[in-house]
Amino acid sequence: MNASTYFIPAFDLTEAREIAYAVHAGRLGHREHYLTREGAEAIRNHLNSLRATKREVFEITVDERVTDDGRIPVAWVVDEIGERAAAIVLFLLIPLVGIASLYEVMA
């Protein structure tokens, strides 16, 4: 498990989490500003000077949980079961329904 802590200036915790996930994924630049509380407070002070609404600095920890191939093992097992279930339905059950309906018509 790889955990990273970011200090995010935001209006509320929900916005802070969204920004933290974007910073962690690399969609927002200037990642180094969010790694220290001092950098985040400098951003917050700048943003608060531009707007009447005030932001706070939230400490958000992002846990990165991935496997070697990037897939969650439980989802992989469920995916395989789903593929096999679909094959059974398509190739076994649907023809049986068709055969049963023929017997019903003939009876």
| 21 three-class SS | helix
Report yes or no on whether pTM surpasses 0.85: no
Q: Is the pLDDT of residue 2 over 90?
A: no
Which pLDDT score, from 0 to 100, does residue 11 have? 92
Where residue 44 falls among pLDDT bands split at 50, 70, 90?
A: very high
What gap in Å lies between CA 9 and CA 20, rounded to an integer? 10
**pLDDT value, residue 79:** 65
